[in-house]
Amino acid sequence: LEEVRESIQRVLAQAGVNHEIAGSELGDKLEAIRVRNAEAKAQAELADLKRKRRPPLAPMDIFTAAANAAANGDIKHAN
């Protein structure tokens, strides 16, 4: 019987805290945190989608070969 009483007291205490939070400035702050978390998650998902849609980068040797060819005069200029 004592355990039941303690359980009831815990439930009532939790309900009181929840009621206090719901009508307080703290409740507004918690909601603002939830909104910011949702926005941050959406931004991360968008960034991931953009990253996946980007074309792959060209290998560096393409650029070094072109630079070497230009340095050696192997590239002909169209005039």
Residue range 45-61, pLDDT digits in tens: 999 999 888 887 767 77
Q: Residue 47 falls within a domain, yes or no?
A: yes
HSE value, Cβ hemisphere, 13 Å, CA-based, for 73: 0
Q: Residue 79 falls within a domain, yes or no?
A: no
What single-letter amino acid sits at 5? R
Q: How confident is the model at residue 2 (pLDDT cuts 50, 70, 90)?
A: confident
Host domain of residue 54? 2-72
Q: Residue 27 falls within a domain, yes or no?
A: yes
Residue partners of 75: CB distance under 8 A and separation at least 6: 66, 69
Residue range 4-48, pLDDT digits in tens: 888 888 888 887 777 666 666 777 778 888 999 999 999 999 999
Q: Residue 77 falls within a domain, yes or no?
A: no
When divided into structural domains, the chain yields a total of 1
Q: Residue 37 falls within a domain, yes or no?
A: yes
One-character DSSP codes across the chain: -HHHHHHHHHHHHHHHHHHHHHTSHHHHHHHHHHHHHHHHHHHHHHHHHHHHHSPPPPPHHHHHHHHHHHHHT-SPPP-
Closest CA to 28 of 57, 62, 20: 20
